[in-house]
Structure 1
Amino acid sequence: MSTWFESVAEAQRRAKKRLPASVYSALIAGSEKGLTLADNLGAFDELRFAPRTAGHHAQRDLGTHVLGRDVALPVLISPTGVQAVHPDGEVAVARAAAARGTSIGLSSFGSKPIEEVVAANPNTYFQVYWTGTRDDIRRRLDRARAAGAVGIILTLDWSFSHSRDWGSPHIPERLTSRELLRFAPEGITRPRWLLDYVKTRRLPDLGVPNMASPGEEAPTFFGAYGQWMQTPPPSWEDVAWLRSQWDGPFLLKGVIRVDEARRAVDAGVSALSVSNHGGNNLDGTPATIRALPSIADAVGDQVEVLLDGGIRRGSDVVKALALGAKAVLIGRAYLWGLAAGGQAGVENVLDVLRNGIDSTLLALGKKSVHELTREDVVAPAGFAVGLGAAHERGPGS
């Protein structure tokens, strides 16, 4: 039990104690002042519940069907980049998700090949950034298809990089002897993290193998990042083209406006995630939970609506489902679990969320996550925002 933790907050505290300062700071980063990052968390605190006193159900059903797959709980693993917080990286996360009956999104900037991740969890979705030419993107889709990916995630809520008021950690392009010497003081102060890598006899891998074709040398993270920076941003026609290249679940991650949710439906997506990239895109964007209700109202009967950003408790998941989400995606929460305890730590985080969902359903008198409605949540006046809704109706309406 000494390795078990009872909250995501405790996983974060353990991750902070275990990780070198620069690695940990990369996990908590938000852009500029961190307004959006703070609102993603704070907005959930503004929501209250309307619990019931009697008539509770002895057993609750947490399972759902989302993105073409049955999952044991409405919590999916969001794709995140190079996971140097643990040597096993995305493979450990994939195994944990499989053990708890849910799906994983693998970033194209991830540190483990898609073939290894799919082998660890058959319910793997490959995440795509609009990087390079259409032929480049098509080759990556071909590799994902051949590996057995069950769907794709197009991430468009990361459009540019902002500086941070508290500074950004130094991330080397390659771990050369000079970089290792520079990093040594941090590594020495976190011996358990360093020992994890010593046992594997390999250094943290900063390459991104899924950006290469099979047999090609993987580019570095910054090499791939540079290509992304030089690629013109995609149009809605590009989104529709990419959709035409994949016959299966297609999630568009990054929608925050009602008018663009409708454009996503027109482009043929099968699902969308209300997202602001965890506060790492345009600072000052409202929390995703504030934007969720209007988007769910607009397109929830046409596509599956998911949410990511700010999920730290099972009760947060319930609030999102009550306001219209089919499921949620988590990022920082499982990375803290991975840092704290590898695969077991990620399983622990999923268990924390599962238990929180279950106990919240019990208090609300619900038998299933599918019974949740907006009447179960109390929101203050002016809580929800309908970005793009007025534009959709036209001026003066």
Structure 2
Amino acid sequence: MSLWPWKRNPWFETVAEAQRRTKRNLPPSVYAALVAGSERGRTPQENMDAFAQLQFAPHVAGHQPERDLSTTVLGVPISMPVVISPTGVQAIHPDGEVAVARAAAARGTIMGLSSFASKPVEEVAAANENTFFQLYWTGSRDAMVQRMERARAAGAKALIATTDWSFSVGRDWGSPAIPERMNLPALVKFAPEGIIRPKWTLQWLRAGLPDLSAPNLKPHDGPAPTFFGAYGEWMQTPPPSWEDIAWLRQEWGGPFMLKGVTRIDDAKRAVDVGVDAISVSNHGGNNLDTTPASIRCLGPIAEAVGDQIEVLLDGGVRRGGDVAKALAFGARAVMIGRAYLWGLGANGQTGVENVLDLLRMGLDSAVLGLGHSSISGLSRDDFLVPEGFEARLGDSGDPAPDSGEAKRRAPRRPAAKRPVEKTVQ
């Protein structure tokens, strides 16, 4: 027991506590950039609430003394079915994505690195040999080939293509103002926030101020763009077709995941163009608000294509029990985003390791209570599933994706060019 009972234990017991500590640690505008989704913010909450609707049916005896939680994702062995999902600009801590990569390596799992990350792929891959590089459809094809070649040279084991971000640009409560560069005017403007969070400010002063750039989008012949410069390039790039996805998969040549699938017909098209895995995801609620929870979309998609490709889930995972539920509905593994960011904001690399430990412990408890010796034994029979729980989007009866009717009924895509808002969406 500590001689100083008012000192906080560095270990936190839940992801919710990590979030509370992160809120206390970070300047309000930095925290606000992480916490909420687009428009009303309904989908992020729905992602979490849907997990709570699935109720366990545990056994009272006959539990297994040893449990195997290991699996593989795209050929990479991992100690548990939890993977780091790529999230952009992790400048909530000076070590950012490198700290997360080290934590993932220490706990035997995969690091997903965003092309909008604050650390270069070379540093992250050096910290975790099992790094997957994530790419948006942005810029010219030549630029995308350059980025893939760089990631491959750095040792990235797989490519994650994300095409579901972001059609919505507004938040009902207002988007936090984030500077494009940490120059003198920005320092003056944000000085009050730095004063009320002195520990965080001192940490950055010692490490050097963040430049808020996207080093993994750096061209051969120029500097890395700022985050908002990279965002502007994305907004001016026409959105990809399925033929473009097939081209991307062919150019990469290695294990390939398509992230952001919520519809059965899209999952089938992904199989047709040759992807090796998909992530059932609504981009953590940062895409179209009121999209159904990822876990509600998972089962029908896994039933449709799970025997042909690997299916993962991303969205709303905060507990090891959530991981167990996703596996029971057909996921090979889950990808976590905000959960590890709360760990990073609460206690750096150690905080991310703390989050991963919590998820492992919770998953192990679920497998134990349900009477299994391995995660492979998890099934829907282990749960009480509410009637009408699953969302069967794009099921049979919809027009074929290439038909004239489908094109007439398809929603309008956003304009190719939009003004750059200097806020994080």
**What corresponds to 2:171 in structure 1?**
164
Residue among 140, 144, 166 paired with 2:147: 140
Residue among 311, 322, 325 paired with 1:316: 322
Residue among 292, 295, 298 paired with 1:289: 295
Residue among 224, 228, 234 paired with 1:222: 228
**Equivalent position amino acid for 2:30 in 1:** V
Moved more, 235-244 or 204-213: 204-213
**Equivalent position amino acid for 2:156 in 1:** A
**What corresponds to 1:231 in structure 2?**
237
Q: In the TM superposition, what is the alpha-carbon distance from 1:13 to its structure 2 partner?
A: 0.4
Whether 1:353 aligns to 2:353 is: no
CA contact (8 A) 1:143 1:214 kept: no
Equivalent residue of 1:41, what SS?
A: helix
Once residues 91 and 291 of structure 2 are traced to their aligned partners in structure 1, the CA distance between those partners, rounded to angstroms, is 28
Once residues 382 and 14 of structure 1 are traced to their aligned partners in structure 2, the CA distance between those partners, rounded to angstroms, is 37
Whether 1:49 aligns to 2:56 is: yes
Q: In the TM superposition, what is the alpha-carbon distance from 1:392 to its structure 2 partner?
A: 4.3
Runs of 4+ with deviation above 6 angstroms:
none
Whether 1:93 aligns to 2:100 is: yes
Equivalent residue of 2:133, what SS?
A: strand
Equivalent residue of 2:58, what SS?
A: coil
Q: In the TM superposition, what is the alpha-carbon distance from 1:102 to its structure 2 partner?
A: 0.2
Q: In the TM superposition, what is the alpha-carbon distance from 1:350 to its structure 2 partner?
A: 0.2
CA contact (8 A) 1:259 1:391 kept: no
Whether 1:4 aligns to 2:11 is: yes
Q: In the TM superposition, what is the alpha-carbon distance from 1:160 to its structure 2 partner?
A: 2.2
Q: Which runs of 5+ in 1 are unaligned?
A: none
Whether 1:379 aligns to 2:375 is: no
Whether 1:209 aligns to 2:215 is: yes
**What corresponds to 1:197 in structure 2?**
204
1:223-272 residue CA offsets vs partner (Å, 9 max, x unmatched): 00000000000000000000001222111000000000000000100000
Equivalent residue of 2:189, what SS?
A: helix
**What corresponds to 2:85 in structure 1?**
78
Once residues 231 and 214 of structure 1 are traced to their aligned partners in structure 2, the CA distance between those partners, rounded to angstroms, is 19
CA contact (8 A) 2:101 2:111 kept: yes
Cα distance, 1:215–1:117 mapped onto 2, change above 3 Å: farther
**What corresponds to 1:36 in structure 2?**
43
Equivalent residue of 1:252, what SS?
A: strand
Q: In the TM superposition, what is the alpha-carbon distance from 1:169 to its structure 2 partner?
A: 0.3
Moved more, 9-18 or 383-392: 383-392
Equivalent residue of 1:94, what SS?
A: helix
Once residues 97 and 190 of structure 2 are traced to their aligned partners in structure 1, the CA distance between those partners, rounded to angstroms, is 23
**What corresponds to 1:241 in structure 2?**
247
Once residues 171 and 134 of structure 1 are traced to their aligned partners in structure 2, the CA distance between those partners, rounded to angstroms, is 29
Q: In the TM superposition, what is the alpha-carbon distance from 1:357 to its structure 2 partner?
A: 0.3
Once residues 168 and 329 of structure 2 are traced to their aligned partners in structure 1, the CA distance between those partners, rounded to angstroms, is 30
**What corresponds to 1:340 in structure 2?**
346
Whether 1:178 aligns to 2:175 is: no
Equivalent residue of 1:245, what SS?
A: helix
Whether 1:62 aligns to 2:53 is: no
1:79-138 residue CA offsets vs partner (Å, 9 max, x unmatched): 000011100000000000000000011000000000000000000010000001111100
Moved more, 371-380 or 217-226: 371-380
CA contact (8 A) 2:39 2:168 kept: no
- Coordinate RMSD, CA, aligned: 1.3
Once residues 106 and 90 of structure 1 are traced to their aligned partners in structure 2, the CA distance between those partners, rounded to angstroms, is 7
Q: In the TM superposition, what is the alpha-carbon distance from 1:162 to its structure 2 partner?
A: 2.2
Q: How many pairs align?
A: 394
Once residues 356 and 322 of structure 1 are traced to their aligned partners in structure 2, the CA distance between those partners, rounded to angstroms, is 15
Residue among 16, 20, 23 paired with 1:13: 20
What TM-score, normalized by structure 1, do the two folds share?
0.97
**Equivalent position amino acid for 1:123 in 2:** N
Once residues 346 and 249 of structure 1 are traced to their aligned partners in structure 2, the CA distance between those partners, rounded to angstroms, is 26
Residue among 108, 116, 119 paired with 2:126: 119
Cα distance, 1:373–1:206 mapped onto 2, change above 3 Å: same
**Equivalent position amino acid for 1:92 in 2:** A
Q: Which runs of 5+ in 2 are unaligned?
A: 1-7, 406-425
Once residues 170 and 5 of structure 1 are traced to their aligned partners in structure 2, the CA distance between those partners, rounded to angstroms, is 30
Whether 1:154 aligns to 2:154 is: no
Moved more, 154-163 or 309-318: 154-163
Q: In the TM superposition, what is the alpha-carbon distance from 1:380 to its structure 2 partner?
A: 0.4
Moved more, 40-49 or 208-217: 208-217
CA contact (8 A) 2:166 2:286 kept: no
Equivalent residue of 1:25, what SS?
A: helix
Once residues 159 and 84 of structure 1 are traced to their aligned partners in structure 2, the CA distance between those partners, rounded to angstroms, is 21
Q: In the TM superposition, what is the alpha-carbon distance from 1:159 to its structure 2 partner?
A: 3.2
